[in-house]
């Protein structure tokens, strides 16, 4: 009987360790892109603009790798595409319990190169994250997750759109006061 109890406790401990070490891979999702950094970011931006009827606007484009390079260090390229939908953010910002989630606004999609020379896209697993914060947030974030999937659908038959160099906080569709949600 003692062996069964010890085995049970060891199993729970092992499950906890594995869960702790893999939780990040569930929260963040990585996709390989068939395009380079700038074209991938431009295609994501174009897809975001296609969903303007759902309140989505571009709120920024950041290049953290440039800031690192300016400090004298060299890292592979990274672009952060920022977008926000007032249709979704408005629901969360109106709720006292959900307002803290404003820390996740705007929605940020990262486009980066790895040492293998390939371009990747990183997103937050919005659907799963939403489930951690109750029914109302889960409902909103499941819609965000659907839209986010649309952001990453690329039609190879469409020509590459230009990269839109929106300065963060510098003017979404509603002007500088509303950029970034």
Let me know: does 110 contact 78? Beta carbons within 8 Å. Answer: yes
The structure tokens listed for 21 are: 């070490």
**What is the predicted pLDDT for the residue at 132?**
87
Q: What are the backbone dihedrals phi and psi of residue 162, each rounded to the nearest 5 degrees, phi first? A: -75, 150
**Three-state DSSP class for 81?**
strand
Write the pLDDT tens digit of every residue in 39-57. 999 999 999 999 999 999 9
pTM for the model stands at 0.81
Lowest mean pLDDT across 19-33, 66-80, 153-167:
19-33
The closest alpha carbon to 43, from 144, 168, 169, 162, belongs to 162
Which pLDDT belongs to residue 166?
Answer: 83
How large is the average pLDDT for residues 76-95?
Answer: 93
Going by pLDDT thresholds of 50, 70 and 90, the confidence category of residue 180 is low
User: What dotted CATH number matches 27-151?
Assistant: 3.30.310.70
Q: What is the mean pLDDT of residues 9-37?
A: 70
């Amino acid at each position: 009987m003692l062996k069964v109890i010890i085995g049970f406790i060891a199993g729970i401990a092992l499950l906890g360790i594995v869960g702790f070490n893999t939780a990040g891979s569930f929260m963040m999702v990585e996709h390989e892109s068939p395009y380079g950094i700038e074209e991938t970011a431009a295609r994501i931006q174009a897809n975001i603009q296609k969903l303007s009827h759902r309140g989505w606007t571009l709120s920024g484009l950041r290049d953290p790798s440039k800031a690192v390079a300016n400090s004298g260090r060299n890292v592979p390229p990274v672009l952060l595409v920022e977008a926000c939908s007032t249709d979704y953010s408005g629901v969360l910002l109106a709720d006292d319990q959900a307002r803290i989630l404003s820390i996740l606004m705007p929605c940020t999609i990262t486009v980066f190169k790895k040492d293998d020379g390939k371009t990747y896209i990183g997103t937050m697993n919005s659907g799963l994250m939403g489930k951690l914060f109750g029914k109302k947030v889960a409902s909103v974030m499941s819609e965000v997750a659907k839209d986010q999937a649309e952001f990453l659908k690329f039609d190879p038959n469409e020509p590459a759109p230009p990269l839109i160099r929106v300065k963060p906080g510098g003017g979404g569709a509603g002007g500088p006061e509303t950029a970034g949600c």
